[in-house]
Structure 1
Amino acid sequence: MQRATAYFLGCAGIMLLSGCGGTRARLEPPEKPPAWVDKLPQHTGKLCALGYSGPTFYQTDCLKNAADNARGHLSQAISVKIRTITIDISDGTRGSYDMDVMVEGSESASDTVLNGSEVESQWLDRFGQRGPDNGCYSLVCIDPSKPIQSLVDKLEEKKIPPKTVEKVRQNAEAAFEELEKEEAKVRSAPPPKPAPPPEKPAPSAEPAPSPAPSAPSPDSPENPPSNT
């Protein structure tokens, strides 16, 4: 009976050791971040933006938040461009409703970005190469003709004269071409250099050792001469 028990414990020990060895985590080398994380890719005829989200409990939420963040950046850039477009209402005279058209056109373009943009790529930074571990990055792009058409549709709903609508379309196309050129400059710019490591403080100088006391001379008061 004792021999059987010892045999069972020995087998259990072997199984336990083999199980621990089988579940040992492997250290995998971190994958290289995609190029679009550091520099927007060349998308002819598209406007793109990069979005980021910090780590979340569920990975799907992290990716969704990164895409929403990219859409927010893209929507803001497009809305700013639309606000800078010169909208000449009423064929040369600025009507009292031009500001409403501008605001509604900007909102319509923003809605178009939120609903019409597409996620081109996503990346999960598992090893924290660009930020905290398990952060998410998303690349979102849109055809600029979509927000332009949305703006034109909004003008037509306002019964704006066709001549003015066409002028707005031309101004919008020129504005988005300018935005694409600005993106191209960002793409061609070299990536920023990493910050230099902080300089180590110079070691503090140690105080010089105090000189050793000199031995008293034979004629000093401490050692009076003998009268012998």
Structure 2
Amino acid sequence: MTWSSRLKLVVGLVVVLAIVGACTVVFTQRQNSARSASATITAQEYSVGAVYAGTVVDQAVTVGDSVTTGQRLFTVRSPQLLRDLEAGVIRPTDLDQVDTTAGTYAVVSAVDGVVASVAAPVGDFVTSGAEIAQVDKTGSMGVTAQFTLTARDYGRIAKGSAVDIQLPNDTTVEGTVDAIEVETVDGRAASTITIASPNLVSEQIGGLYRPGTPVVATLALRDDGPFAGVADSFRDFLRRMGL
């Protein structure tokens, strides 16, 4: 064998080893992460309810409006409230913005946030304790994501694990695992993971940053070594072969 042939052989081996090494690194990286089956932005929801049964006679906000703590959202007229006021069962200061002549009171927001839904518009009769609207609290946005994981991969996640959250505009924000719920289905862990993200918390609710917005969550699994993914996959292959 000539020296030129030997040189070509060495170069060829180096190239093959480099390709195999690169493929191994890529494969291992893929084994160290999991992509969500589905994921959406969520926020803490606060219910706004009627204290006294009555008719909604005024609506001061609509879905999507920003509100502050104590802001009037609705006015309810209640004959029962009027009777209780006359009988001295309740004082005007016990409720918000009571009109002792008309027998009305205000339903106010308990938190700063955005009106998410209205269940009882003007003209609707509501019972005591019935929900009139819901408010998404400002500064409470996070992500809820579903993952289908093998038992081994489920053991490689923990509270505080890093998560990349990709928004519909391809912007990526960082988050961490805050809570994990799991149900075993066909030998796989169907996991619902709550993700906390300071980036989402600092955003105002609206546009892309609103509850229900679909996102893609990529969960970082614990790295059990540079060839852990390859070794695990090889063992799984041998197991399937009955070896």
What is the TM-score with the length of structure 1 in the denominator? 0.27
Q: Of the two structures, which has the highest relative contact order with CA contacts closer than 8 Å and spacing of 6 or more?
A: 2
Per residue, is there more strand in 1 or in 2?
Answer: 2
Per residue, is there more helix in 1 or in 2?
Answer: 1
- Compare CA radii of gyration and give the structure with the larger one: 1
